[in-house]
């Protein structure tokens, strides 16, 4: 059994690799651009980037590739057998089997794949803000909303391994169109992308007059302009952030009803403005949650592992699933 | 270890008791009215009914109450410790501990309590339409929507034991007011109560002209009038049933996204008109489900155990949880 593992978190723009020991300490770290190059078949370009990171770690730390456990976190529907069924934000890798690719390229035998949100949940459960919490949900607020569910200490993988796609829960039956083809998905309201969409709508509707003037036109107002202005106390920006928090709480309350979740760990890019979202979301939760006052207080905290959650979790997957 | 167990399913109007062997065969059955009498403190009247059923079974079959496992399914929030936190449809029992009551009244030592939807899920998993399916969701369409989640062969109980309250997932953020105080809960659209509510609305809006004439006024049209007319092919009634199926599929699709559920078992009173709902709901699922075509076909079937699902599941709880 190896004392170290590699975790590789493949994002839409960047791929983050970490070398981790069994205590979750990051010993080394690499960052690369994620290629969107379809040449060479499903995932060949991405597979090459991953194998370069692995080879670099192996060389620097004199590791034996045949016995080194490697975990890969992928944004998309990862099957239990490790094959990627679908990656909406990384179309060139759909259908790829990175375990097979890395075996071919490097002779790696111990390569495991898992959805990136599920990795983040496992990372926070092992070494982060979910440590020791047997029932919690990881919620990653990025362009969309990803996540992972821990129930009685186990990841909820579901029939095929696709569990935890919480961002595609519809909270508004005939609501905003989503990239997945559905309507009213949670991530169209409470993610970074949701903030961008709401900003565009509010600006066009004249509900952000000061920001529109400041940015030189409704079409120029971005989500970051709203968060910056909200941090500076601009009322119209704070009102919009409260709307995002309202929607965030909507989805959290649904997860409480379904799973009896008492603990949420919030990560992803939008979590850097947690101060603008979570206090208000916690208040809305009181109204939205079925039987709120019959439950222990619901905890909503930010990620401990922040940008490393996915990669650390991928390494944890590698530690746990090696034979 | 006892070869038989008692399962008691406490409903809002009736309490159904069964004596069951380890193969799930019902050896005896009793039905009583559920009292809504607050005298004697939390649950005293209901406890008396339960103890009478247990005593009757024991007498008829010469069973030893000290070693006989008894399971109770309750409509409400049942804590892991067996205490009832809240029963919205049976207010007089909120806070009651039936295990303690039955111990007092009969000397029973092995009494276990679980939510009725969770019981139904465990019953179908052991002996019904979920047999051998490691990941499925039980959906009971009654006045509200109850349910239970089986993930990797285990009931998802959640932090306190309140898991599976799927009817209180909001599918329409600013939708119809629910008895729970929330808005847009799934059960306001896709249950027997949801059908009644939609019937009332549609009749008032003039969308059920023939039924209104037939029943002698908009206020007289009931859900049962709609299902009867739909079975006879009346287009306006079929249209309304399709709307209910549309909402049913909405919630099912959410559960697929969150849990990667590949199999649903539909029970409860409204499932007697499954032929009017499920074919249409299955079609809507194709549109609503995130990554539908990347998944194995999603199975939606009716309960095998029908009215006995809850009581049989309560007996299964008793078998499984006895020390």
| A119-133 pLDDT per residue, tens | 999 999 999 999 999
Report the residue of chain B nearest A262, measured CA to CA: B159
Residue B40: which pLDDT band, with cuts at 50, 70 and 90?
confident
Residue B134: which pLDDT band, with cuts at 50, 70 and 90?
very high
Task: For chain B, say whether A159 makes contact (Cβ under 8 Å).
Answer: yes
> Which residues pair with residue A149 across a beta bridge?
A137
Task: Determine the Cα–Cα distance for residues B259 and A251; give it in Å rounded to an integer.
Answer: 14
Mean pLDDT, residues A296-323 taken together:
97
Residues in chain A, total = 323
Mean pLDDT, residues A296-303 taken together:
98
Residue B20: which pLDDT band, with cuts at 50, 70 and 90?
very high
Lowest mean pLDDT among A81-85, B128-132, B201-205: A81-85
Q: Does position A41 have pLDDT exceeding 80, yes or no? A: no
Give the pLDDT score at A56: 97
For B22-33, how does the pLDDT look when each residue is reduced to its tens digit (9 = 90+)?
999 999 999 999
Task: Determine the Cα–Cα distance for residues B210 and A61; give it in Å rounded to an integer.
Answer: 79
Q: How far is B136 from chain A (nearest CA, A)?
A: 8
Helices and strands (H and E) in chain B: how many: 10, 12
The dihedral sign for the CA sequence B42, B47, B49, B50: positive
* pLDDT-above-70 percentage for chain B: 100
Facing residue for B258 by CB, picked from A165, A175, A260: A165
| Contact in structure between A72 and A54 (CB atoms under 8 Å) | no
Indicate where chain B has its CATH 3.30.420.40 domain(s): 4-121+308-321, 133-303
Contacts of B272 (CB under 8 A, 6+ apart): none
| Contact in structure between B201 and B219 (CB atoms under 8 Å) | no
Q: Does position B89 have pLDDT exceeding 80, yes or no? A: no
In terms of phi and psi (left: phi > 0; alpha: psi -120 to 50; beta: otherwise), the region of A194 is alpha
Task: Please determine, looking at this structure, whether the domain spanning B133-303 carries the CATH number 3.30.420.40.
Answer: yes
HSE, CB side, 13 Å, CA atoms: give it for residue B140.
Answer: 30
Question: How far apart are the two ends of chain A, measured CA to CA in Å?
Answer: 9
Give the pLDDT score at A301: 98
Give A219-254 as a DSSP string. GG--HHHHHHHHHTT-HHHHHHHHHHHHHHHHHHHH
DSSP state of A196: H
Q: Does position B112 have pLDDT exceeding 90, yes or no? A: yes
The model's pTM is 0.97
- What ranges make up the beta strands (E) of A163-310? 263-267, 299-302
Q: Does position B88 have pLDDT exceeding 80, yes or no? A: no
**Inter-chain Cβ pairs, chain A and chain B, closer than 8 A:** 167
Q: Which A residues, 180 through 209, put their C-beta within 8 Å of a C-beta on chain B?
A: 180-182, 185
Mean pLDDT, residues A68-76 taken together:
95
For B247-263, how does the pLDDT look when each residue is reduced to its tens digit (9 = 90+)?
999 999 999 999 999 99
Say whether A288 and B156 touch across the interface (CB within 8 A).
no
Q: Residue B130: enclosing H or E segment and its boundaries? A: none
Give the pLDDT score at B90: 79
Residue B12: which pLDDT band, with cuts at 50, 70 and 90?
confident
For A225-235, how does the pLDDT look when each residue is reduced to its tens digit (9 = 90+)?
999 999 999 99
Task: Determine the Cα–Cα distance for residues A123 and A104; give it in Å rounded to an integer.
Answer: 28
Say whether A182 and B288 touch across the interface (CB within 8 A).
yes
ipTM, 2 decimals? 0.97
Q: Biggest alpha carbon distance in chain B?
A: 61
Q: Does position B41 have pLDDT exceeding 90, yes or no? A: no
Query: In 3D, which of A50, A61, A77 has the Cα closest to residue A4?
Result: A61
Bridge-based pairing of strands B263-267 and B136-141 is parallel
| Contact in structure between A211 and A203 (CB atoms under 8 Å) | yes
**Token digits for A29?**
């770290």
Distances (CA, A) of A265 to A9, A68, A157, A177, A189: 18, 30, 18, 27, 18
Say whether B166 and A135 touch across the interface (CB within 8 A).
no
Give the pLDDT score at A281: 98
Lowest mean pLDDT among A24-33, A214-223, B38-47, B227-236: B38-47
Say whether A159 and B263 touch across the interface (CB within 8 A).
yes
CATH class of A4-121+308-321: alpha beta
Pairwise pLDDT comparison (A43 vs B192), residue with the higher score: B192
Residue B218: which pLDDT band, with cuts at 50, 70 and 90?
very high
Say whether B163 and A85 touch across the interface (CB within 8 A).
no
Give the pLDDT score at B94: 78
The dihedral sign for the CA sequence B191, B194, B199, B200: positive
Give the pLDDT score at A182: 93
Q: Which B residues, 6 through 65, put their C-beta within 8 Å of a C-beta on chain A?
A: none
Query: In 3D, which of B89, B139, B60, B112 has the Cα closest to residue B303?
Result: B139
Task: For chain A, say whether B261 makes contact (Cβ under 8 Å).
Answer: yes
Give the pLDDT score at A90: 80
Q: Does position A32 have pLDDT exceeding 90, yes or no? A: yes
Give the pLDDT score at B219: 95
Best B94, B135, B144, B257 residue to mutate vs chain A (most A CBs within 10 Å):
B257
Q: Dihedral angle at the C-alpha atoms of B286, B288, B290, B292, nearest 10 degrees?
A: 0
For B146-195, how does the pLDDT look when each residue is reduced to its tens digit (9 = 90+)?
999 999 999 999 999 999 999 999 999 999 999 889 999 999 999 999 99
HSE, CB side, 13 Å, CA atoms: give it for residue A15.
Answer: 25
Cite the DSSP H helix spans in chain A.
44-61, 98-106, 116-127, 187-190, 192-204, 209-215, 223-231, 235-259, 274-288, 309-321
Q: How far is B160 from chain A (nearest CA, A)?
A: 7
């Amino acid at each position: 059994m190896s004392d170290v593992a590699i975790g590789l978190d493949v994002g839409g723009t960047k791929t983050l690799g970490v070398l981790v020991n069994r205590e979750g300490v990051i010993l080394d770290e690499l960052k690369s651009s994620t290629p969107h190059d379809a040449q060479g078949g499903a995932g060949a370009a991405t597979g090459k980037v991953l194998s370069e990171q692995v080879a670099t770690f192996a060389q620097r730390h004199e590791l034996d590739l045949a016995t080194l456990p490697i975990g890969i976190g992928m944004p998309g529907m990862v099957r239990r057998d490790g094959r990627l069924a679908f990656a909406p934000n990384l179309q060139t890798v759909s259908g790829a089997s990175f375990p097979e690719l890395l075996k071919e390229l490097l002779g790696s035998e111990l390569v495991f794949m898992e959805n990136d949100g599920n990795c983040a949940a496992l990372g926070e459960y092992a070494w982060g803000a979910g440590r020791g919490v047997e029932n919690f949900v990881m919620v990653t607020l990025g362009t969309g909303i990803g996540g992972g569910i821990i129930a009685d200490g186990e990841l909820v993988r579901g029939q095929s391994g696709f569990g935890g796609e919480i961002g595609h829960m519809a909270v508004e039956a005939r609501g905003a169109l989503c990239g997945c083809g559905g309507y009213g998905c949670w991530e169209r309201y409470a993610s970074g992308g949701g903030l961008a969409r709401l900003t565009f709508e509010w600006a066009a509707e004249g509900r952000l007059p000061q920001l529109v003037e400041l940015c030189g036109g409704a079409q120029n107002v971005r989500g970051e302009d709203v968060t910056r202005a909200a941090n500076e106390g601009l009322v119209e920006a704070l009102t919009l952030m409260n709307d995002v928090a309202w929607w965030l709480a909507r989805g959290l309350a649904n997860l409480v009803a379904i799973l009896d979740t008492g603990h949420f760990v919030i990560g992803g890019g939008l979590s850097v403005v947690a101060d603008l979202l979570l206090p208000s979301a916690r208040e809305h939760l009181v109204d939205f949650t079925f039987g709120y006052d019959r439950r222990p207080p619901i905890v909503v905290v930010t990620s401990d592992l922040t940008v490393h959650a996915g990669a650390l979790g991928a390494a944890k997957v590698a530690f746990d699933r090696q034979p």
